[in-house]
Amino acid sequence: MDARYISAKVIESVINHRKHLDHALAEHLLRSNDPREASLARELSYGVMRWYPRLVFITGLMLQKPLKSKDTDILALLCSGLYQLGYMRIPDHAAISATVETARALGKNWACELINAVLRRYQRERDTIDLQVLDFEPARYAHPKWLISRLRETWPEYWEQILLSNNEHPPMQLRVNQQHHTRAEYIHLLQQAGIEATPASFANTGITLSSAINVDDIPGFYQ
């Protein structure tokens, strides 16, 4: 199943039905047999939700009227398209074309022209729109206004650093169960499985992976 279709459904579940992102992803990825599509669906889902306040603000600048609740999947697609244009290495033309086609897969052909127009406008006016983002704090920091205010009050010297750090893509880290392996032994197991890893500096049982992987691929995870 197409990654953009999956991520649109996942994001819709989170927004409309308050599902946990991990649970929504697990549920929808059961229908995908392609590891590459599953990986892209994860990246789109996590990326869109991480930057959601900013992406929704940008769509609001370009939509004449808000989308209805029943069309949250189209809002998710718009945010997904913006995320691809702004944060991923996918060529712009491929990101726009694939996102538009996903609207057809969702059975909403009427949205194809809308999605195409919004994404191409952002492509043309990105610099101007990004300046408008900087002027609106929830969009600039990708956090709700109430949380920004609370952090500013509680940590007046560090609030901005906290917000910026909170938006960074976290590394995938593991804790070794030393009843089964030492950390060095487990790093060797990972290397045998083709997974690059290094000892973590914060704990003598911690391991940091060079890139995130599916937990199904972690040696001994279920055992």
Please name the amino acid found at residue 212. A
What is the model's pLDDT at position 126? 96
C-alpha dihedral over 185, 188, 192, 193, to 10 degrees?
80
Indicate the range of 90-94, 121-125, 214-218 predicted with least confidence. 214-218
Q: Which residue has the higher pLDDT, 59 or 35?
A: 59
Structure tokens at 41: 């669906």
pLDDT in tens, 128-178: 999 999 999 999 999 999 999 999 999 999 999 999 999 998 889 999 999
In this predicted structure, what is the pLDDT of residue 72?
97
Average model confidence (pLDDT) across the chain: 94
Helix (H, G, I), strand (E, B) or coil at 109: coil
Answer yes or no: is pLDDT of 8 > 90: yes
Looking at residue 217, what is its pLDDT? 83
pLDDT at 109 > cutoff 90: yes
Q: What is the pLDDT of residue 169?
A: 82
Span 113-121, average pLDDT = 98
- The percent of residues in the chain predicted with pLDDT above 70, rounded, is 100
Number of H helices, E strands in the chain: 11, 3
> For residue 95, what pLDDT is reported?
97
The two tokens of residue 193 are: 């499985």
The contacts of residue 95 (CB under 8 Å, 6+ apart) are: 81, 84, 85, 88, 119
Strands 206-209 and 173-175: antiparallel
- pLDDT confidence of 35, banded at 50, 70, 90? confident
